[in-house]
Amino acid sequence: MATSMTYKIWTNVNLMTMQEDAGPYGLFNNAAIVVRDGLIEWLGPKDQLGNYPNAEFIDGKGAYMTPGLIDCHTHLVYGGNRIDEFEKRLNGATYEELAIAGGGIISTVNATRKASEEDLIKTAAKRLKYLSQEGVTTVEIKSGYGLDVKNELKMLRAAKALNSNRVDIITTFLGAHALPPEYKGNQHGYIDLIINKMLPAVKEENLADTVDGFCENIGFTYSEMEQIFKAADKLGFKLKLHAEQLSDQKGAALAAKYNALSADHLEHLSEESMLAMKEADTVAVLLPGAYYTLRDTKLPPIDLLRKHNIPMAVATDCNPGSSPVLSLKLMINMASTVFRLTPEEALIGVTRNAAKALGLTDRGILKTGLKADMVLWDIDHPAELSYQVGGLQTIEVIKNGTVI
């Protein structure tokens, strides 16, 4: 057998591989996993482990190991906060009322425009640290609080600057998040700005691989988003969409029409749009933090998503207004207790299906040839990851084969 010192081998671990068709959680009890040069080289029963005389061995002491967690929908980069709106909502104001009154997304736009790129990096890095400590090794970050060329690019540059050996950052351009105040009454003019200025600038600087939008009665219509999707698709961007959060605008069907990676939120998703998602293999990204924070009462149609075998991902939707959440672990719990996913479905939602929602095929499961992004957990049963609220359960967070 090979004798390279680049081998690291975890033994005495229970591997929750999350592989499909491998039983619940893809579980291998009393197993070992071999890593070389940041990739998984072998995994299986410990008694079938080959001879690696010069490898570095780590005793897992019977702990459970999963793939690194993936937060596939965040707005982690922003200026200011919206604590005042939080109090107003508790006193009866609705999300839509606050947005119409000039609050909501626009208040964060004003704060983000005032912030320097360095300020945005500093505040987002603090938020990112909390996610990383809980086992998150890949995070998607959207723009959408700049709403002009200069500030959208500033946000995306700040997001990319957060990429490190601890966590991979996936960036998404969300220019179609809200109508900026200077374009009030001129929605068509802002759509033109996105298509003719913003998208080409993002592409030229290679600041994002994916384009997203907010298809909603307080956001952008189906036809407006279709214009943006056509332009983005022509430039080679992958697509995602905020859809059916507050009403049924057929956004999920639009996302499916353009083979989007995901449609996100989906509380008001119709079965007709769901069938279009199934045909396009578009992932349903569930965001229980926003549902909880906004005190929503209409659940996403989980039973129908199951019935039609549509992959369900789970994410924090970390943002200053509707989901000030910095714990993907808490979202695993909420996906189970609030949305009624099984503990296994919830964990698949932050690993295998979260990777799929970002178009990533090199992570999200423990499998030979994939990235050695892994987490060793202080738990006694796989379901404990959704059962326990609070308390740091991570023993080791491993990124590209290195304990971080």
The DSSP H or E segment spanning 12 is strand 7-16
Confidence band for 1, pLDDT divided at 50, 70 and 90: very low
**Per-residue pLDDT band at 3 (split at 50, 70, 90):** very low
* Nearest-angstrom CA–CA distance, 173 and 133: 26
Q: What are phi and psi of 146, to 5 degrees?
A: -105, -50
148 vs 193: CA distance, rounded Å: 8
Cα torsion angle, 245, 250, 253, 259, sign: negative
Under 8 Å between Cβ of 363 and 373: yes
Q: What is the pLDDT of residue 102?
A: 66
Residue 2's pLDDT is what? 42
Residues 6+ apart with CB under 8 A from 298: 267, 268
pLDDT score, position 5: 54
Residue pair 95/293 in contact (Cβ under 8 Å)? The answer is no
Return mean pLDDT, the chain. Answer: 95
pLDDT at residue number 289:
98
Per residue in 302-325, pLDDT (tens digit) is 999 999 999 999 999 999 999 999
pLDDT digits (tens, 9 = 90+) for 269-304: 999 999 999 999 999 999 999 999 989 999 999 999
Q: What is the pTM of this model?
A: 0.96
In a 3-state reduction of DSSP, which class is residue 67? Answer: strand
Going along the chain from its start, the domains and CATH numbers come out as: 7-67+365-403 (2.30.40.10), 69-357 (3.20.20.140)
